[in-house]
Amino acid sequence: MKLLIVESPTKARTIGKYLPKNENFVVKASVGHVRDLPKSNKKAIDIDAGFVPHYEISPGKEDIVADLARAAQQADEIYLAPDPDREGEAIAWHLIEALNLKKAPNVKRITFNEITKTAVQNALKHPRGIDDNLRRAQEARRVLDRLFGYDLSGLIWKKVRYGLSAGRVQSPALRILVEREREIRAFVPDIFWTITADLIPNGHKKPLTFTCSEEFIAHMKGKSEKEQEKEKVRIKKKVDALIAHGLKASWHVSAIKETEQKRAPHPPFTTSTLQQVASSRLGFTPSRTMRAAQKLYEAGHITYMRTDSVTLSNDALKNIAAVVQKEYGKELHQTRLYKTKSKNAQEAHEAIRPTDAALQTAGASSDEKKLYTLIRTRTLASQMVDARILRTKVSANITSSKTFPDFIVTGSHVIAPGWLTADTAARNEDVDLPKMSVGDALTLKDINAEEKQTQSPKRYTEAGLVKELEKRGIGRPSTYATIVKTIQDRGYVKKDGRTLIPTETGMVVSTFIEKYFGPYISDDFTAEMENELDEIAAGKRDYTKTLKDFYTAFHKDVSAKEDIPKLTNLGDANPKYTCPQCGGKMVVKLSKNGTFLSCAKFPACDGARTADGEIMEGPKETGETCPECSAPLVERTGRYGKFISCSNYPKCKYIKEDPEEAAKKKTGVTCPQCGTGEMVERRGRFGVFYSCSNYPKCKNAIKARPTGKLCAYKRDDRDGKACGALMMEGTKTIPERCSDKTCPNHNPHKLAKKK
């Protein structure tokens, strides 16, 4: 028997179709990483021994590892086929360690950038060993992130607020958003006027709107209110005089300029550009884009989706050429070779493209189909001829003055669509102007001015932040989506539509880190660390020296800040808000849910208001004691109303439940993981879920109400044994299903379609 191990069950099923039928292959999935650093930092990394990480089997992966170990013992040959990048190399190495295969002579590593029959069978012919440089680069990133986050987060807990955290790459991303927010808050708009003239060419009925080429701006910044008003009046008089002059005069076409321009197609997608275009055209978040792309890759429809390369293989160029010529004609095909600009780009990878461009649609879900169409369109367009655009600029002026400014109208027209034939969404609508000649008379229908304000810098969207991270060299293709998601999950950033807005908590955390650890979250430092990780991957840099150089200075700087004062107050509150208890002054403080106003005399007076000035009721003792630590129980007000909890929070997290409410939350279903607890209803950040009553000793949790039944689906990755996980109640669209995401019965509606 030959055993082939990949990361996901979907990928396993796709690869299984392409393996030689006569070689008795068994394909199994590790379902991602099987080992990771333990949560406790004390035993996670042995710094003195040279930053040696101590890995443990990831929680919930024990059965998978045991199953893979049994299969490995029976196999004559073992092929490790996780993704072709650092993360995939690390998974392959961890499998060797976890399955005790270090001395096994029959273990081989294979990689492919696309899951096709040709690619898979070619990879089997060219196996290799583990690329230790790639694996060490991934390990270095993991260790760096843990050391940075653990040390700095610990200090933030002490000096800002318990429960906050920092990240080596997430903190620079947050800083970018916070810097933009400061610009927006400090922005003072200027006043300006635009003057437009509606002019009708000879022989036409409809007017064209010409815009004045001269600027009329009243600068406001740095001026007093009186000075601002004088400036506005001065500019407005100039605008009114120009309009009065234009109303009396005769108009004519003073100049016409026509320019033919070529518009070249865009290169095929990288991870970053795919996330950006999917956001602007499809409204997808980076994480949503990557989920759909992962499914398309695992199903064999597209090449590997984590790449910063824009190159295409010779076979791909031939395939694309044939499709372009068939669908759009030979005259529209043009072979184009794109060069990746990034010096650290992984040229061994290709750009993201269809594995077979002839396949017009692919994907199991709506998201996958839309994304596949986007990728295919971009790929085909990248190998087509330029579009030719005719741009026309018509200037109008009055006949009686040489100092009167030109009024301009522009138009454009696609002469030859070229690659826009394929990518119609990239085509701007034609703006056709009527035929005019220099000297033609124009009839003035109307001329007026509109007062406007200059706009502050725009906040970043998720796609815009990804573009900025790539531009500054922060992160890599595999990390962009995670970075954006993490700063939102931590409550440092919120979304308003597609716009990212730093929360008050995010502003405070970023300001603190910038003040005391600015160099460590600067663009240059973060980008240089990425370059050093790239050098480890290329075998040009030593793992231990890199970590030592960073951590020696970093740990020293963190230790030196232990004596800085705790950030208790963020400044004085608006004087109109006084303490509701003593009438005294109030200050701004930071809580778990953002900023609030506290009496400046605290703890002598505990009067408080919300950030908007509403009176907050503080904790009130109930006369009861906590059954877990004997501290007094108090009544508090939270986001879901009033509740009773331990006054010793956060050291003690006991919460007293109302007996009637507690009874409602019980399901009567025994937890199959520990065998003693009961599955009960709970509420978290993402709504209602169900977990074991023995939490935190037992961390079994599912996202819908359990039915009490156990999943009887016989799983291939468990030698045909029943899954055994809890079944959950269904919805209108999905029937009762398994709570284990890795079980095919988690999506019974898809299983039914296959049958």
Determine the Cα angle at 675 with ends 672 and 678, to 5°.
80
Q: Based on DSSP, count helices (H) and strands (E) in the chain, helices before strands.
A: 18, 32
Does residue 38 surpass a pLDDT of 50?
yes
What average pLDDT score do residues 389-417 get?
Answer: 94
Instruction: Determine the Cα–Cα distance for residues 655 and 661; give it in Å rounded to an integer.
Output: 13
What average pLDDT score do residues 277-286 get?
Answer: 94
Does residue 444 surpass a pLDDT of 60?
yes
The pTM is what? 0.78
What average pLDDT score do residues 734-742 get?
Answer: 87
Among the four given CATH numbers 3.40.50.300, 3.40.630.90, 3.40.190.10, 3.40.50.140, the one describing domain 2-130: 3.40.50.140
- Higher per-residue confidence, 748 vs 27: 27
Confidence tier at 638 by pLDDT (50, 70, 90):
low
- Higher per-residue confidence, 657 vs 150: 150
Confidence tier at 570 by pLDDT (50, 70, 90):
confident
In 3D, which of 156, 148, 147 has the Cα closest to residue 562? 156
Task: Please answer whether residues 143 and 547 qualify as being in contact, where contact means their C-beta atoms are separated by less than 8 angstroms.
Answer: yes
Helix (H, G, I), strand (E, B) or coil at 305: coil
Does residue 525 surpass a pLDDT of 90?
yes
What integer pLDDT is reported at residue 685 of this predicted model?
67
Residue 596 CA, chain-centre distance (Å), reads 29
Query: Tokens 């600029």 belong to which residue?
Result: 393
Instruction: Determine the Cα–Cα distance for residues 548 and 550; give it in Å rounded to an integer.
Output: 5
Determine the Cα angle at 533 with ends 527 and 536, to 5°.
145
Query: Would residue 695 show up in a list of annotated catalytic residues for this protein?
Result: no
Taking only the tens place, the pLDDT of each residue in 305-357 is 999 999 999 999 999 999 999 999 999 999 999 987 765 554 457 999 999 99
Catalytic residue among 18, 304, 328, 551: 304
What average pLDDT score do residues 225-244 get?
Answer: 95
Taking only the tens place, the pLDDT of each residue in 97-113 is 999 998 888 999 999 99
What integer pLDDT is reported at residue 754 of this predicted model?
65
Taking only the tens place, the pLDDT of each residue in 190-222 is 999 999 999 999 888 899 999 999 999 999 988
Confidence tier at 616 by pLDDT (50, 70, 90):
confident
What integer pLDDT is reported at residue 642 of this predicted model?
75
Instruction: Determine the Cα–Cα distance for residues 209 and 191; give it in Å rounded to an integer.
Output: 22
| Statement: 140-186+458-560 belongs to CATH 1.10.460.10 | yes
Highest averaged pLDDT of the listed ranges 32-46, 503-517, 659-673: 503-517
Q: State the CATH class of domain 191-264+388-453.
A: mainly beta
Taking only the tens place, the pLDDT of each residue in 4-24 is 999 999 999 999 999 998 889
Confidence tier at 52 by pLDDT (50, 70, 90):
very high
- Would you state the structure tokens that stand for residue 154, as one six-digit string? 């610990």
Helix, strand, coil distribution of the chain in percent, nearest 5: 35, 25, 40
Confidence tier at 402 by pLDDT (50, 70, 90):
confident
Task: Please answer whether residues 137 and 344 qualify as being in contact, where contact means their C-beta atoms are separated by less than 8 angstroms.
Answer: no
- Higher per-residue confidence, 348 vs 38: 38
What integer pLDDT is reported at residue 142 of this predicted model?
95
Instruction: Determine the Cα–Cα distance for residues 347 and 418; give it in Å rounded to an integer.
Output: 28
What integer pLDDT is reported at residue 622 of this predicted model?
87
What integer pLDDT is reported at residue 347 of this predicted model?
43
Does residue 463 surpass a pLDDT of 70?
yes
Task: Please answer whether residues 475 and 483 qualify as being in contact, where contact means their C-beta atoms are separated by less than 8 angstroms.
Answer: yes
β-strand pairing of 216-218 with 191-201 = antiparallel
What average pLDDT score do residues 699-716 get?
Answer: 90
The domains of the chain are located at: 2-130, 140-186+458-560, 191-264+388-453, 271-385, 586-659, 666-754
Instruction: Determine the Cα–Cα distance for residues 722 and 367; give it in Å rounded to an integer.
Output: 31
Taking only the tens place, the pLDDT of each residue in 343-396 is 555 445 799 999 999 999 999 999 999 999 999 999 999 999 999 999 999 999
Query: Tokens 């010779």 belong to which residue?
Result: 314
Residue 62: how many CB atoms within 10 A of its CB? 11
Lowest mean pLDDT among 76-85, 137-146, 607-616: 607-616
What integer pLDDT is reported at residue 344 of this predicted model?
53
Helix (H, G, I), strand (E, B) or coil at 455: coil
Q: Hey, what long-range contacts does 35-42 have (CB within 8 A, 24 or more apart)?
A: 35/61, 35/94, 35/97, 35/98, 37/142, 37/143, 37/146, 41/146, 41/150
| Statement: 271-385 belongs to CATH 1.10.290.10 | yes
What integer pLDDT is reported at residue 342 of this predicted model?
61
Taking only the tens place, the pLDDT of each residue in 149-186 is 999 999 999 998 888 899 999 999 999 999 999 999 99
What average pLDDT score do residues 647-657 get?
Answer: 82
